[in-house]
Structure 1
């Protein structure tokens, strides 16, 4: 298939339609506005439905309704808007409904700014709503990867009956790159016999709910959900190892930051310094096993567009084996390869 030059937000929207998404509910917020704008134009062409809700809270509850009816549905937002959706996401996870949620994140806290950020890591990987729940989190670093992961996210959501988050940032949303729309790998998906599609007097009505007043029943439900999350941890972890063989310094970075770190790794290599990169593609489940594949490493460096959030998972995965350092920019500031190279030299030279 020929490649098409597209802006990231629009490419993600086109990928969703390719995956069979027919319903989009959202609310405008920079820097993801081109995505709902694209869906508002393109969904009616395929007899789909676009609704600009009155708020982010309304949008996520419309997702609940459409997903409950068995439809492939999606919403998108940016950081403050995602904060407003958290209660609804918890309800959706509790009710075991599949959907795809895109976050093109920006600087915070609060309203913050409109520049790229990765400060929604905690919100995405820990679950910003209430209760014991998880959702798989994809972190694309290129627009092609954003397209591929968005397409696959719909199958993953249906397979596990669970929300899936695609976490980008302002650069992923706003940059332009050539992309192609490939067919996803086929999964045997379960029938949606739980959906509220109407009984036609042929079956008992399906009831979709996340309320369980009997504590024994709620505990049983949470154990069922936990077993599902363990299956995700077993089967859905993804990561990339870049020039890690023989490396004495290992960077850990995701998304667009990982692209910058790759340039730093190449620059260090040109100076005779062996460095590599572990790039989590799934932020949850986190690729803990990747940290067993770096026998020559002397130290780890978590590089993030935040004050340091992924570093907690890096420390857990490292399990005390190596020193863990941090380099980050925040508030919409973007790390440079030159600054990362200097940080690497400081660490290898014994600096703090």
Structure 2
């Protein structure tokens, strides 16, 4: 198919429809408003349903209902809106309901601002709802990858019967880039024998539920969930790396910040510095093993984020003290520049090349 120029928010909506999404429930919040706007216009054309819910809480519970009936369903929001969805997300994970949840992040805490941010890393990877649950968290760096990961997210949600989160920021939602869509015209969605679609008098009713009043039953349920999450860790870790085995300094960044880091690396290499990159694509499961490829005498790993150091905690866990860990971040909607990253890398070098 030919490439088409699209805004990120609209491209992710088109990708969801191409992946077979037929239901969207959401509530307006900047900077993701083009997503529900696009879905409201395009979903009815393919026999789908768009509902602007009365709140984010209502929207995620509508997702629960549609997913429980076996439909491919998506919701999107931005930071404080996703915070309101957390109870429902925990319910979906507990009931093992496949769905895709998009967070186009803005600054916080609280209402914060509408500018791009990466301050929801903890919320996405640690779980803002209650209980021992996990989401597969995918972090695209450009609009084409946003399209690809949305489509992948629906497949993985069905494969693991688990919610998948697409974690972007205001920049990727608002930027325009050429994208290409896979041909999914002959796509066959997996059979969902567990879904609540009516019995037709041929079997006992299916029950979709996350309530286990017997303590032993709930423990067994949690044990089975952890076994599923272990499979996700083993099979779904995704990462992009560049020159990390030979680098004197390694930068790690995700999403659109990684693109700024790549520009900084190109500038540094022209000056003779040896700098590598680790870009996590899955923020959970996190690619801890990739950091073992960094040489022992590396001067340091620089984590660059649009927050005050959230992914930094995972980087420190990955390094386990073997290599020094450094951080550079901007907040409040301020975006790191390549020049700022270059300066920080040179500080780590300490004038020694």
Q: Same-fold call, TM > 0.5?
A: yes
Q: Which residue of 1 aligns with 2:335?
A: 334
How much does 1:242 deviate? 2.1
SS in 2 for 1:54: coil
Q: How does 1:141-160 map to 2 (within 5 A)?
A: 141-160=141-160
SS in 2 for 1:134: coil
Kindly indicate whether the alpha-carbon contact (under 8 Å) linking 2:299 and 2:348 is maintained by their aligned counterparts in 1.
no
Unaligned runs of 5+ in 1: none
Q: Which residue of 2 aligns with 1:33?
A: 33
Q: Which residue of 1 aligns with 2:319?
A: 318
How much does 1:182 deviate? 1.8
Relative to the length of structure 2, the TM-score reads: 0.97
Structure 1: distance between partners of 2:123 and 2:299: 31
Q: How does 1:241-280 map to 2 (within 5 A)?
A: 241-280=241-280
RMSD: 1.5
For each residue in 1:83-137, what CA deviation from the matched residue of structure 2 results, as whole angstroms up to 9, or x when unmatched? 0000000000000000000000000000000000000000000010000000000
Kindly indicate whether the alpha-carbon contact (under 8 Å) linking 2:249 and 2:274 is maintained by their aligned counterparts in 1.
yes
Kindly indicate whether the alpha-carbon contact (under 8 Å) linking 1:305 and 1:330 is maintained by their aligned counterparts in 2.
yes
Structure 2: distance between partners of 1:7 and 1:14: 11
How many residues matched?
350
Relative to the length of structure 1, the TM-score reads: 0.97
SS in 2 for 1:303: strand
How much does 1:246 deviate? 1.4
Q: 1:6 to 1:187 in 2, by over 3 A?
A: closer
For each residue in 1:127-167, what CA deviation from the matched residue of structure 2 results, as whole angstroms up to 9, or x when unmatched? 10000000000000000000000001000000000000000
How much does 1:294 deviate? 1.8
Q: Which residue of 2 aligns with 1:212?
A: 212
Q: Which residue of 2 aligns with 1:7?
A: 7
Structure 2: distance between partners of 1:187 and 1:114: 37
Residue 216 of structure 2 corresponds to residue 221 of structure 1 = no
Q: Which residue of 2 aligns with 1:57?
A: 57
Q: Which residue of 2 aligns with 1:132?
A: 132
Kindly indicate whether the alpha-carbon contact (under 8 Å) linking 2:105 and 2:167 is maintained by their aligned counterparts in 1.
yes
Q: How does 1:188-207 map to 2 (within 5 A)?
A: 191-207=191-207
Structure 2: distance between partners of 1:320 and 1:187: 47
How much does 1:267 deviate? 0.6
For each residue in 1:152-204, what CA deviation from the matched residue of structure 2 results, as whole angstroms up to 9, or x when unmatched? 100000000000000000001000000000258x9997531110000000000
For each residue in 1:282-311, what CA deviation from the matched residue of structure 2 results, as whole angstroms up to 9, or x when unmatched? 000000111112226321011000001000
Kindly indicate whether the alpha-carbon contact (under 8 Å) linking 2:249 and 2:298 is maintained by their aligned counterparts in 1.
yes
How much does 1:320 deviate? 1.3
Residue 300 of structure 2 corresponds to residue 299 of structure 1 = yes
Kindly indicate whether the alpha-carbon contact (under 8 Å) linking 1:155 and 1:187 is maintained by their aligned counterparts in 2.
no
Unaligned runs of 5+ in 2: none
Kindly indicate whether the alpha-carbon contact (under 8 Å) linking 2:306 and 2:334 is maintained by their aligned counterparts in 1.
yes
How much does 1:350 deviate? 7.7
Kindly indicate whether the alpha-carbon contact (under 8 Å) linking 2:139 and 2:166 is maintained by their aligned counterparts in 1.
yes
Q: 1:181 to 1:109 in 2, by over 3 A?
A: same
For each residue in 1:58-101, what CA deviation from the matched residue of structure 2 results, as whole angstroms up to 9, or x when unmatched? 00000000000000000000000000000000000000000000
For each residue in 1:306-333, what CA deviation from the matched residue of structure 2 results, as whole angstroms up to 9, or x when unmatched? 0010000001111111000000000100
Structure 2: distance between partners of 1:290 and 1:99: 29
Q: How does 1:60-75 map to 2 (within 5 A)?
A: 60-75=60-75
